[in-house]
Amino acid sequence: MPDKYNHKRFSGGEPIMRRCLPVVLVVSMMMVSSSAASQDDLIEKINKLEQQIAELKALKEQQKFSAEKEDHCMKAIGRDKFCKCLADGLPSDISFEQYIHTLVTTKSKLGYESMTPAQKTSVDKTIELREKCIEKGFFK
């Protein structure tokens, strides 16, 4: 029987468009959902990159501060290996000047007993680091 709109038909007599429509819809939905997933993946990758950039900036700042500590130590002490050991090992919030102050001041005068646990740990690590760097033979 001829189609009044002249639509092509499958051998079963059903118009091609009517049989293909579900397939086209499914493919379209898959493309849209994969596009959304791709956008989510892209956003996640961007967030990871931003986090890595922030970590690299913090590391660069730490390296700059470490180099400054090493420079100050070299001016005062003049021993490459010892100063490198100190610069790399001192807590990030302790400058070379604070290191010297911590070493030459008694714990009671530093107010050690009234310090927070984090401050006490910082003082203890600073004192221990000196011994560690000396024990490694940097003054022999």
- Kindly report, residue by residue over 57-111, the tens digit of the pLDDT: 887 877 777 888 889 999 988 888 889 899 888 888 888 999 999 999 999 999 9
pTM of the model: 0.55
Q: Is residue 12 part of a domain?
A: no
Q: Is residue 107 part of a domain?
A: yes
The candidate with the shortest Cα–Cα distance to 126, out of 138, 137, 118, 116, is 118
pLDDT > 70: what percent of the chain?
Answer: 74
In this structure, of 3-17, 37-51, 62-76, 82-96, the range with the lowest mean pLDDT score is: 3-17
Q: Is residue 7 part of a domain?
A: no
**Maximum CA extent, the chain:** 107
Q: Is residue 103 part of a domain?
A: yes
**Residue 4: predicted pLDDT:** 56
A 10 A CB-CB count for 6 gives 6
Q: What are phi and psi of 92, to 5 degrees?
A: -60, -25
